[in-house]
Structure 1
């Protein structure tokens, strides 16, 4: 095969032509990873919601294979309906997105373009996702006894630290600020800048999985807190550990997307695609956070009932639930906000980008996460009626 890039000296225009579509492909891959994580969260929520049903099937004499097949048929039906809805929506959304891209790039082509190879790729993707879901089902059934499935009660505790080599918590703080430092001392304002600042995203994993839960637990042990605050900090520490993967995705989105948007002004196609990708990625991440709170509400259903049995009123339990959600978003706004504002300031000072562009990028993050926080608030308010349930 003849490769034009190997037959001549590579120029900047060649790199631009080669890099632009591949950057768009990488962005699509990142969206796909986030979507798969959302599907896994939904599958986990679905299995916990039907735990009693699984237990009854095992009591009726169904072996593990039949139980998995029973659930798999249900999930296949859900996936088929989801794919049909997605394809129908794409008939509307694809022309809209192409209209925005073509007008921005001054391209005169038909917006009604659909790649038939896409449907075969969707079929392969669905099969791969089903394999992952089967693995999750097997793991869930093997790790839960029959009695725990029948009781339909969830005991959630913080995971013990079984690391052979324990990294001090302050290392994660240093890594977080090292990523900020790399922004201001680095000479490049493109991919190298993003890779250097991704140190902060990696450190965010340790912050939310180790540093913050450990700090909250130390506050509970050392400070003379009220009983309500003790419960809130304990619940928040547990939720932080359970949401570590989402935090990494969010931090990667906060670091990579603004960086590539600000550094791709000379590539119109990539620039507008990144804006559209930012909206889609943040939308999916926000759905993932909302799903994580749904799972948390299911896992802590018995926990809230026990608080009511101990004498707490419905209003007091509701207040505890609200404080947990507000505490998570407060920490998220701080750690993610520092990075995105630092990236914006760096490009404003060193690259003299337009202030309006910075405002648009900030809105692409603030609006979806603000809406997600409001949705979580509404869901928590609606769950209060179940606190005194049987």
Structure 2
């Protein structure tokens, strides 16, 4: 079993790169932020007073948990994509007469191998990333200590995290097998239709719009620019879930039904509505990052350790979220592959189908730039007017948001450009 599982993993190694990259990213980021919790030069013990007073050390700990949640979501997206790529392989193993237990063991062997390789790569990278990370933090905080800080507690915590991630991934794979029949595993499964609304109590779509603008209103009427300001503004992030899952898809579908659109535009709006629903959790994370991180950066000028941690976290977390969006587009391309090939069968050229795919990607990013941009600009303007913060700091925070998402949009464009939907490719 072990030999067969490893041979299959090696033969399909190109399909593992995305999942391995996500694991390395997650472990590397966690290893860096554990420095704030376990490096004696950067941290102090958290007490009950720190929790009640929302102290600097406690804020860093909460921020680390938020980063971990985002990293785990990236791994889940990558694992979802990995399972879809390997569905046929699992189906063939199932057809060969393997029992449920043996299939789980087959996947466990492969996942442990992937995890071991990811851990080795992470530790090798840490020999470079940790000194760079500590150099930046030490210089900003005027600390004169050795930048090569490693201890057994760091690696033991990473070991616990690895085990937890492994359990999550195996659970996802077992659930995927149980929820898909043998025929659907062997035959590629494509999702090109939106989920039906089975809610018992249906919230009107306009409520989500009101919630979004209520978050903006809370920024301008609040008297204090502190954590309470951010929490009140998070109403907008929660409302973004409803906007992307209900309001925008419903609006796009209504446009398709009521407006006299070209056939190409009808397909684009339908595909975009479906993608919006599938990306709802990502949008919540992005909106939370857009609201919380700039707010705490602007509010933490008097706390050097938290301030530099937030800047580093902003770069890393936006990078991780961008990778998650790219992974979501990879899954979308896989699920809609047959959909696009059917458009070619209907007479559209490969160039015309690619144009439809481009418009879907551009439409998503336009909506994202608008809804997230309004919030980050509103936060920046509020602090500029009421707290007289430095304009250069605002520019840095905006770049920490614009650069990663601009790069991700370009990567998605290049991936879509490389797709081929011509009939001879079947």
TM-aligned CA distance change 1:221 to 1:156, over 3 Å: same
Please give the alpha-carbon distance, in whole angstroms, between the structure 2 residues aligned to 1:5 and 1:381: 48
- The aligned counterpart of 2:348 is 312
Q: CA deviation at 1:384?
A: 2.4
Rounded Cα–Cα distance in structure 1 between residues aligned with 2:156 and 2:337:
42
CA apart distance, 1:87: 1.5
Q: Structure 2 vs 1, CA of residues 239 and 11 (structure 1 numbering), >3 Å: closer, same or farther? A: closer
Higher alpha-carbon deviation: 7-16 or 29-38? 7-16
The Cα of 1:68 is off from its aligned counterpart by 2.0
Tell me how far 1:101 sits from its aligned partner.
Answer: 1.1
How far apart are 1:280 and its partner, in Å?
A: 0.5
Q: Distance between the aligned counterparts of 1:335 and 1:363, measured in 2? A: 17
Match of 2:209 in 1: 173
Indicate conservation of the 8 Å contact 2:38/2:153, yes or no.
no
Equivalent residues of 2:245, 2:277 under 8 A apart: yes
- Runs ≥4 in structure 1, deviation > 3 angstroms? 1-18, 385-388
Deviation at 1:153, TM superposition (A): 3.5
Shift of residue 145 of structure 1? 1.5
Given that 2:212 and 2:236 are in contact with CA atoms closer than 8 Å, whether structure 1 keeps it comes out as yes
Unaligned runs of 5+ in 1: none
Report Cα offsets for 1:319-359 as digits up to 9, x if no partner: 00000000000000000000000000000000000000000
Q: Distance in 1 between matches of 2:311 and 2:155?
A: 25
Deviations 1:284-341 (A, max 9, x none): 0000000000010011111111111111100100000000000000000000000000
Structure 2 CA distance for partners of 1:65 and 1:157, relative to 1, 3 Å: farther
State the Cα distance separating 1:115 from its structure 2 match: 3.1
Of stretches 51-60 and 176-185 in structure 1, the one that deviates more from structure 2 is: 51-60
Q: Which residue of 2 aligns with 1:61?
A: 97
Mapped partners of 1:72, 1:342: distance in 2: 47
- Asked if the contact 1:301/1:387 (under 8 Å) is kept, the reply is no
The aligned residue for residue 247 of structure 1 is: 283
Deviations 1:18-42 (A, max 9, x none): 7112211111111111111111111
Structure 1 residue 382: Cα displacement = 0.7
Please, which moves more after superposition, 103-112 or 348-357? 103-112
Quote how far apart the aligned CAs of 1:157 are: 2.0
Q: CA deviation at 1:15?
A: 8.4
- Using the size of structure 1 for normalisation, the TM-score is 0.95
1:344-375 deviations in whole A, cap 9, x for unaligned?
00000000000000000000000000000000
Instruction: Go from structure 1 to structure 2 and tell me whether the alpha carbon gap of 1:9 and 1:277 turns closer, same or farther (over 3 Å shift).
Output: closer
**Change over 3 Å in CA distance of 1:85–1:174 after alignment to 2:** same
- Give, in angstroms, the shift of residue 156 of structure 1: 3.4
* TM-score, length basis structure 2: 0.87
Backbone CA RMSD of aligned residues: 3.6
Q: How many residues were matched structurally?
A: 390
Looking at structure 1, the residues matched to 84 and 65 of structure 2 have their Cα atoms a distance apart, in angstroms, of 29
Note closer, same or farther for the CA distance 1:105–1:138 as it changes in structure 2 (3 Å cut): same
Structure with bigger RCO (C-alpha 8 Å, 6+ apart):
1
Q: Is the Cα–Cα contact under 8 Å of residues 212 and 240 in structure 2 kept in the other structure? A: yes
- Structure 1 residues 7, 176: closer, same or farther in 2, change over 3 A? closer
Q: Residue 330 in 1 paired to residue 330 in 2?
A: no
> Residues 164-188 of structure 1, C-alpha deviation per residue, up to 9 Å, x if partnerless?
1110000000000000000000111
Q: Does 1:187 align with 2:223?
A: yes
Would you say the 8 A contact 1:305–1:388 is kept in 2? Answer: no
Deviation at 1:5, TM superposition (A): 21
